Structure formats: structure tokens, C-alpha cells
Amino acid sequence: MQREIQILPAAILRQKCAPVTLFDDALAALAEDMLETMYAAPGRGLAAPQIGVDARLFVIDATWKEGVKAPQVFVNPEIVAASTETKPYTEGCLSIPDRLIRIERPAEITLKWQDQKGAWHEQAFDGFHATVIQHERDHLDGILCIDYPEVAE
């Protein structure tokens, strides 16, 4: 089921989300709704607060617009390492329509997260994939891409 995307200045976009503690069918259904909403928008990532849900959860598919869908679900994600090297990307946000901002983020990160069943995972990500994850992870702390200084091309 597609959900309504919250648009700035919706208050939930600026709050820190609560950890997910219940790994059940409702969580799986929420993740599926988020993926359906993200693809329809069409976006590359969507965080729970963007559909009005106070939960540390986001979904992404960094490459689906270039080929085969590869959806990923991240529950209670934490960045445990980040490179000192940065890379600029122009980012858009489904909650801030018609606005693009070029910002720099770490080029590589290591993320620790739980899956929909509660199992923990840890993996390194780089390039655009790392940028999408950092963008969505920021949403869980009420941080938006417009909060970063814009960089020149």
C-alpha cells in the first residue's frame, strides 16, 4: 500500500525516531509499504518518518532506475565507520519537492543494522550507495540534506 509522503515543514521530519523493538508481520508490512511508496514516488530511498512513522527504519534501492530492482531494508541502522575522504553528490529528497542540493558526505561508510527479523548485519558501502544510505540515515535523527552546506560543482 502506498503511503502519503510527509513534506517539510512536517514536524516528524525534524524529530529523532524511536528504535524498532518489535520484529513482526507489522514491521514487514511497513517495509513493503515503504518500498512501494518509494518506487511510486519515484525515489531511491525512503525513511519511516517520511511517511509519518516514528521508527528507526529506512528502505533504499540505489540502482533500480538503471536496471534491476535491488531493494534493501535497514532497521536500527548505525554508521560505525566513515572515511575521511568525501564525495559530492547532488541530492534530492521526496520530503522537499523540487529542490536539489549538492553536498559532500564521506565517500565510504560501514553500516551496522538489523533486518526485518532482528538479525544484525554489518557491511561497507561506497559511492552513490553510501550517499543514499547516509541521506536516509540522517532522516532518523531529524536531519535533512538542506542542513548541510552546499558545495560548488
Q: Cα dihedral sign for 48, 137, 11, 17?
A: positive
Distance CA 136, CA 3 (A): 17
**Predicted pLDDT at 141:** 98
Distance CA 15, CA 111 (A): 21
Residue of 32, 36, 108, 136 marked active site:
136
Task: Confirm if 79 and 109 have CB atoms less than 8 A apart.
Answer: yes
Residue 65 binned pLDDT confidence (cut-offs 50, 70, 90): confident
Domains and CATH numbers, the chain: 11-147 (3.90.45.10)
Q: Is 4 a catalytic residue?
A: no
Q: How far is CA 29 from CA 25, 26, 43, 91, 100, in A?
A: 6, 5, 19, 28, 31
**Predicted pLDDT at 153:** 81
Backbone angles phi, psi at 150, to 5 degrees: -80, 140
Q: What is the pLDDT of residues 70-101, one digit of tens each?
A: 999 999 999 999 999 999 999 999 999 999 99
